[in-house]
Amino acid sequence: MNYFERGDTLIYADNAATTRISDSVLEKMLPFLQEQYGNASSQYSLGIKAKCAIEQARQQVAGAIGAEPSEIVFTSGGSESNSWVLSSVNNGHVITSSIEHHSVLDACHSLERKGIAVTYLPVDGRGRVSLDDIKEAIRSDTKLVSIMLANNEIGTIQPVAEIGEYLRERNVLFHTDAVQAVGHIPVIVKELGVDFLTASSHKFNGAKGTGIFYKRNGASLPPLIFGGEQERGVRAGTENVAGIVATGYAIGESVNDMTAMADKLSVFVHATIFGIRTQIPGIIINGDESNRLPGIVNIVFNGVTGESLMHLLDLKGICVSTSSACTSGKGKPSHVLMALGLTEQQAKSAIRISYGRYNNINDVETIVATICNAYNKILTAKL
């Protein structure tokens, strides 16, 4: 019998995978699934109301990241947006990092099959890309550099602003996958110096299936989808009005609460590390402990597998993960953890805990106690 059948309370601590939609955001979104269901391209009042709602959301998103409304395109999510940027390169050379999301890495592999050169930069033991490595990798035919703002597995924040300043002086296009960062840390596109930025609504308590794509005015990019004039002709197709509305309100809500939320989540992470380390001294904390997203902690538990821990926690109604949701279940060690220099066994012994808006300190205490009990149970079973 699982926790759903028992009626136990679910403790969700996998907010890096997705988040629960905010109650107030859902309230704003629902009318556009029911009464205000017009097509935003229609010229009668029901359609015009939908169009106005989209433009309001565009302004909300632009204001939250320091962009102009004309620089915001709505997509289906981060993976689509990342693929759009990378697939636009048709010759020359691309630079990325070894710990990017697979939507970037797989797109880069596709470019290589077309004969385009790709450099995959290493990271240090904290998961940080070196600006010096970028300087060494730049070539005369480098068309694009794509470096994520914050990693989805270990939370490490990259020196994107420094990289952006360097690339701007050399007129090299710069893209950052900010899916894990937007709504959680300050993200101002002009300060980062990026030409393209991607984000997903469901990572900051918005709706799944809606993405944010920032394209700097003046930066050239071919249309993604043909067939209509939606999104100024660069992404045709009837808009997901309800999802877009939710995105606008969710990003505003997240930015307004950002400082207080970051403080709360940081306390949760420190309490988790302290509580587990007190009972299991041999744990390894992955990533940069002083320069990471406030709610993510990735921990190696030597002697057990992360998958076994995850499943035992699941039986107790606690949701954590072993890696990115896009790669879990494949049986392979995390490419992010391997890039940090961990052994395959260590990489397979890690779990990621990611706290969010709806967690509380009681959740933390329960998670710590349950992990320690599960860990000891697995070790005892091995004797």
The residue ranges of every structural domain in the chain are: 3-21+258-382, 23-253
User: What is the fold, at CATH topology level, of the domain defined by 3-21+258-382?
Assistant: Aspartate Aminotransferase, domain 1 (3.90.1150)
- What type of residue sits at position 137? A
Do 341 and 383 form a contact (C-beta atoms < 8 A)? no
- Tell whether the torsion through CA atoms of 308, 127, 94 and 163 is positive or negative: positive
Q: How buried is 202 (Cβ within 10 angstroms: 0-12 exposed, 13-18 middle, 19+ buried)?
A: buried
Q: What is the pLDDT along the chain (383 residues), one digit of tens a residue?
A: 555 555 568 999 999 999 999 999 999 999 999 999 999 989 999 999 999 999 999 999 999 999 999 999 999 999 999 999 999 999 999 999 999 999 999 999 999 999 999 999 999 999 999 999 999 999 999 999 999 999 999 999 999 999 999 999 999 999 999 999 999 999 999 999 999 999 999 999 999 999 999 999 999 899 999 988 899 889 989 999 999 999 999 999 999 999 999 999 999 999 999 999 999 999 999 999 889 999 999 999 999 999 999 999 999 999 999 975 455 456 689 999 999 999 999 999 999 999 999 999 999 999 999 999 999 999 988 76
Q: Of these residues, 52, 108, 319, 326, which one is catalytic?
A: 326
Three-class DSSP category at 118: strand
User: What is the fold, at CATH topology level, of the domain defined by 23-253?
Assistant: Aspartate Aminotransferase; domain 2 (3.40.640)
* 12, 164, 288, 299 from 129: Cα distances, Å: 31, 13, 12, 21
State how far the Cα of 45 lies from the Cα of 284, in Å rounded to an integer: 58
Q: Tokens 């920032």 belong to which residue? A: 214
Query: How confident is the model at residue 327, as a pLDDT?
Result: 54
Q: How buried is 198 (Cβ within 10 angstroms: 0-12 exposed, 13-18 middle, 19+ buried)?
A: buried
Query: How confident is the model at residue 3, as a pLDDT?
Result: 52
Query: How confident is the model at residue 228, as a pLDDT?
Result: 86
| DSSP class per residue in 55-102 | HHHHHHHHHHHT--GGGEEEES-HHHHHHHHHHT--SSEEEEETTS-H
Query: How confident is the model at residue 326, as a pLDDT?
Result: 52
160-190: buried (b, 16+ CB within 10 Å) or exposed (e) per residue? beebbebbeeeebbbbbbbbbbbbbbebebe
Query: How confident is the model at residue 2, as a pLDDT?
Result: 54
Instruction: Verify whether residue 326 is a known catalytic residue.
Output: yes
Do 371 and 308 form a contact (C-beta atoms < 8 A)? no
